[in-house]
Structure 1
Amino acid sequence: MHDFKYVTRKERAPVKNGLIAIIKRTQNLLRDDFTFRFDFVGSDRRNMVTYAPQTNIGYDFDVNLEVNDDDCNYTPEKIKFKIIQALNKVAHKYGYDYAEDSTRVITIKFKDRKNSRILHSCDFAIVNNYTDEEGHKRQEYIRFNKRQNSYTWEEQPGGYYMLCEKEQWIKDNRHHDKLRKLYLDKKNKNSDLRKHSRSLYAEAVHEICQRYGFYD
Structure 2
Amino acid sequence: MFEYVSKTKYSPVRSELEDIIKNVQDELRGEITFRFDLIGSGSKKLITQEKGSNKGFDFDYNLVLQQGAFDFTAKEIRDKFMEAFNKALKGTK
Normalised-by-shorter TM-score class: 0.7 to 0.9
1:70/1:86 CA distance change after superposition, 3 Å: closer
Q: Normalized per residue, which structure has more strand?
A: 1
**Residue correspondences, number:** 93
Q: Normalized per residue, which structure has more helix?
A: 2
For 1:45, the equivalent position in structure 2 comes to 43
The alpha carbon displacement at 1:75 in A equals 1.2
Q: Secondary structure at the match of 1:51?
A: strand
Structure-to-structure mapping, 1:89-100, within 5 angstroms: 89-95=87-93
Structure-to-structure mapping, 1:125-144, within 5 angstroms: none
C-alpha RMSD of the superposition: 1.7
For 1:64, the equivalent position in structure 2 comes to 62
Question: Over residues 158-178 of structure 1, what are the superposed CA-to-partner deviations in whole Å (9 max), with x where a residue is unaligned?
Answer: xxxxxxxxxxxxxxxxxxxxx
1:71/1:6 CA distance change after superposition, 3 Å: closer
Question: Over residues 177-214 of structure 1, what are the superposed CA-to-partner deviations in whole Å (9 max), with x where a residue is unaligned?
Answer: xxxxxxxxxxxxxxxxxxxxxxxxxxxxxxxxxxxxxx
The alpha carbon displacement at 1:59 in A equals 1.5
State the alpha-carbon separation in 2 of the partners of residues 56 and 71 from structure 1: 37
TM-score (norm: length of structure 1): 0.40
For 1:23, the equivalent position in structure 2 comes to 21
Q: Partner letter of residue 75 of structure 1?
A: T
Q: Secondary structure at the match of 2:21?
A: helix
State the alpha-carbon separation in 2 of the partners of residues 69 and 79 from structure 1: 12
The percent identity for this pair of structures is 35
Name structure 1 gaps, 5 residues minimum.
Answer: 96-216
List 4+ stretches of structure 1 deviating above 2 A. 53-58
TM-score (norm: length of structure 2): 0.86
Retained in 2: the 8 A contact 1:34–1:72? Answer: no
1:21/1:82 CA distance change after superposition, 3 Å: same
Q: Partner letter of residue 8 of structure 2?
A: K
State the alpha-carbon separation in 2 of the partners of residues 26 and 16 from structure 1: 15
Q: Secondary structure at the match of 1:54?
A: coil
The alpha carbon displacement at 1:6 in A equals 0.4
